[in-house]
Amino acid sequence: MQAAFWVTVGLLCLTTAGLGNAQKPQPCRSPPLFMGGLTVGTQNEKVWAVGRYAYDAVQQRIHLGEMGTYNNKSFTYNALMLFDEGVLYEINHKEQTCVKKPLQSDFHPMAVPKGATFISQVVLGTSSAPGQGLLVNNWWGDMPDKQGNYILTFSEFGCFPVSALAKTKEFGWMSVSYYDNVLGAEPHWFIPPPFCADAELVESEDGKVTDFFSVFH
């Protein structure tokens, strides 16, 4: 898996001359409401996961459901993040249980950061025939905490996320791939189930901050 990460990074860097003198793409923002599937993998092979997500930038909500392995142990995880309320629900539908935690993280819209550097524009698949390829733009930048870097890929038309590579302290390079994106999302994705109604806010016992990246741990 580690070799695959570096091959991917190398291929992205080799295509920097793809546009020649053409006008470079500008940072864009994804549609405010959509849903789709994703896969997550890490360079040190500690984490692998696949799941579904729903994204609402209007009311600042994200619902993520995934299953996979962490340190060779299987897991399932279902998280509803309500950023405007500062709350994260960890939901177990099978056991009908719900844990409510403070969400100490700002909502970041799905978008190319303004400080990102354009790398290249490429076609995934082929441009030899209509409908057989996807035109995408690749971007590079520093993580907000300056502790790592990222490479983001968004579609040229629609600005949908395609993939993300982020360098982290714990996992090395973390890879996220997005697929089957569709506009809109059913409201029930963002409503806590009835058995969450009596859930009380639980502070983290180890003192760690609950934020967006916690859902991948």
The pLDDT of residue 203? 78
CATH number for region 2-15+26-216: 2.50.20.30
Mean pLDDT for all residues in the chain: 85
Q: pLDDT class for 46, splitting at 50, 70, 90?
A: confident
Give residue limits of the domains in the chain: 2-15+26-216
Is 90 exceeded by the pLDDT of residue 43? no
DSSP secondary structure code for residue 42 in this structure: E
This prediction's pTM: 0.81
Q: What is the pLDDT of residue 171?
A: 81
Q: Is the pLDDT of residue 112 over 50?
A: yes
- Contact between 215 and 53 under an 8 Å Cβ cutoff? The reply is no
Binned at pLDDT 50, 70 and 90, residue 204 comes out as low
Q: Above 80 in pLDDT, residue 217?
A: no
Summarize the confidence of residues 103-123 as an average pLDDT.
92
Q: What is the mean pLDDT of residues 208-215?
A: 49
- What mean pLDDT is predicted for residues 126-133? 90
Q: What is the structure's pLDDT at 146?
A: 65
Residue 56 pLDDT > 80? yes
Q: Which amino acid is at 37?
A: G
Taking CA atoms, 152 is separated from 35, 81, 179, in Å, by: 18, 22, 14
Question: What is the predicted pLDDT for the residue at 23?
Answer: 78
Buried b (16+ CB within 10 A) or exposed e, 120-155: bbbeeeeeeeeeeebebbbbbbeeeeeeeebbbbbb
pLDDT at residue 22, rounded to an integer = 57
